[in-house]
Chain A
Amino acid sequence: MTLFRGRRILAGAMTLVAAAALAACGSKTTDQNTSAGVTADVSGDTVKVGLLNSLSGTMAISEVTVRDSIMLAIEEINAAGGVLGKKIQPVGEDGASDWPTFAEKAEKLIREDRVAAVFGCWTSASRKAVKPVFEKNKALLFYPVQYEGLEQSPYIFYTGATTNQQIVPGLDYLKAQGAKSLYLVGSDYVFPRTANKIIKAYAEANGMKVLGEDYAPLGSTEFGTITNKVKSSGADAVFNTLNGDSNVAFFKEYKSAGLTATSMPVVSVSIAEEEVKSIGTQYLEGQLTAWNYYQTTPGAANEKFVAAYKAKYGADKPTSDPMEAAYVSVYLWKAMVEKAGAFDVEKVRQASDGITFEAPEGLVTVDGATQHIAKTARVGKVGADGLITEVWNSGAPITPDPYLKSYPWAGGLS
């Protein structure tokens, strides 16, 4: 066996891997047929809605739980008589964690199945991929996940938090706790970079210092150096926008470096009950998260939701913020349709302003102007049992402000 043959083959292997990667993010474009809106088919005694989530690939772990909660809401609504006397008939599609596939499936749901609304998407990348499809066809998407803000499409309802309902309240909490300096750690893509821009502007206006900012590629699991930098910075708190597997490695490293929730608390915005389970409470106990909903949120509506979810999917399944937002989105759509008296997209949009719903997270109100939802912000602490308990909330629902127009310090951002 010669050395050189070995290396040439290795080069071949690398080319193969690269080619596969390229193919994965290939350029399948959706068909450019630009006719104005397709009307939903509501002639029968059922109304179809589309469910667009990744049931395979890297995002499946999170998105399957969202699909489950949407299905739960649909079953409950059907059992109570449906919407405008019609039973909801779900049409499920798999986005396969691949953004062009999301766009293709969205097109299919709208044009072939002629659904009245679509519920789904998780990553900002998938939302950005389907946005033009919904706008071109004048169809409705309900997007259930907290995101980086700075977006407002007339054909998307955002039922998760925008930045002023999650990140800004999280920062307010840290400030009230006396934190004077922050260290920012995030995954290297659009959400953490945008979020950190907002955090830096906030810090500057509020007399806090940002001592450092580090990004790790998605999937990165080597955090020795970042932890060293965080530790030697002596920051009062860490703001964590890491996503996915990186959190596991980061928190393991954090603990071995001798950093704790008391010596240097970490506030995370992408770790909910489901993720706590997979990272391990050994590493997370006492750390903070910012969301709008926890499984432990008090109230009759939540008790009913948690009980129904566990009865349907298993007692060991936790409920989390994106799941709740997805569940709520179906009820909000129902209320909009009933107020409009029709399934017609334009009428539904016009009817949306001021719609309220007694959600598991508390009262939520649709803001017709931004098509976001007014919701209560919460900061919680991870307990030894893996559940998150609230340590602070905003008291009242916060009006959504995706472009942060009402915050003077955010002037230069959008």
Chain B
Amino acid sequence: MTVLIGQLFTGVSIGAVLLLIALGLALTFGQMGVINMAHGEFIMAGAYTTFVLQQVITAAGWSLLIALPVAFVVAGAMGVLLEILLIRRLYARPLDTLLVTWGVSLILQQLARDIFGSPNVQTRAPELLTGNIALPGGITVANNRLFILALAGGAVVALTVALRVTPLGRRIRAVVQNRDLAAVSGIATARVDRMTFFIGSGLAGIAGVALTLLGPIGPTMGTNLIIDAFLVVVVGGIGQLKGTVIVAFALGVLQASGEYLTTLSVAKVMVFVAIVAFLQWRPQGMFTLRTRSLA
């Protein structure tokens, strides 16, 4: 029983990681329809930001907290730069966007290698986050996982609120639902696109900060995550957040229980089979957004 609850928590926390890495993509891919293969490298940028900050601010707790907004801005700025320099020119040519951003992702990886060296770097986690909380019945809950869960929850709430109630959020939704009508109504769609890209990429940066608590920081860390992130967004249904959230946690729990009952490799196969089966049944994903756009 304790193992079961422990595993459920592990599943939920895998889901939280998936959610964090997919959330930004839900915005740039889901809302804007841009396939950004360099999204993983924005995650990497967030992780390296944490590393750099820790060289300056040696107190592990403070550097982690400060890294959150800084990584958001750094990754967001990289996203905007990419949008202005390349993606904006390719909105009508999605396949070219794919290739170009893949190239950008390779360039960014090499850049990281040149700046930080190809060996992994490491950050010290604050002492508070390396421990765990013991619950009655022998269940332990790792503090860093709790932190990531809270962070993912916070990010979803913040993003939902931003999309629902702020003027910018309204404009983003308007552009997603009908770009032409939004433009005619006086919304500067280009500026809205840029802001959407800023937020989406910035969320990748926050995911990067969170991942420093779990694994290595290296030039290729982003490529390992990008496929998972796309899977979550596609299965969740393109165009809105609810599906992304549900699917991230569902896949996390499925992965954890599959892995517990069998092995890690078999669990991965199970997850993929489940996804393929699901997409056969609902090719449009879990939820679909009704739009009035004709495209």
Interface residues of A (CB under 8 A from B): 1-7, 9-10, 12-14, 16-17, 58, 60-61, 188, 214-217, 219-222, 224-226, 228-229, 231-232, 245, 248-249, 252-253, 255-258, 278-280, 282
Contact = CB atoms under 8 A, between A and B. Distances in A.
B45 interface: no
B125 A216 contact: no
B251 to A, nearest CB: 12
Q: Which 8 A-B pairs have the closest CB atoms?
A: A1-B33, A256-B142, A221-B215, A248-B216, A224-B10, A249-B215, A225-B259, A280-B122
B224 interface: yes
Given A3-B288, A9-B98, A252 B35 contact: no
Contacts of A226: 259, 264
B63 interface: no
Given A248-B122, A256-B143, 12 more contacts: A10-B230, A13-B102, A61-B119, A215-B263, A216-B264, A222-B17, A224-B10, A226-B264, A232-B3, A256-B129, A278-B216, A282-B125
A215 to B, nearest CB: 6
Contact residues on B (Cβ < 8 Å of other chain), bracket: 35 or more
Give chain A's interface secondary structure class: helix
Interface of B: 2-3, 6-7, 10, 13-14, 17, 29, 32-33, 35, 37, 94-95, 98, 102, 118-122, 124-125, 129-132, 134, 140, 142-145, 213-216, 218, 220-221, 224, 227, 230, 234, 238-239, 255-256, 259-260, 263-265, 267-268, 283-285, 288, 293, 295
A12 B95 contact: yes
Given A6-B29, A257-B132, A278-B119, A221 B224 contact: yes
A6 B118 contact: no
A14 B98 CA distance: 11
A6 B119 contact: no
Contacts of B122: 248, 278-280
Nearest to B94: A9
A6 B132 contact: no
A109 B134 CA distance: 59
A61 B98 contact: no
A229 B260 contact: yes
Contacts of B7: 225, 228
A247 to B, nearest CB: 8
Contact of B264 (A12, A220, A257, A279): A220
Contacts of B17: 222
Contact of A252 (B118, B214, B238, B263): B214
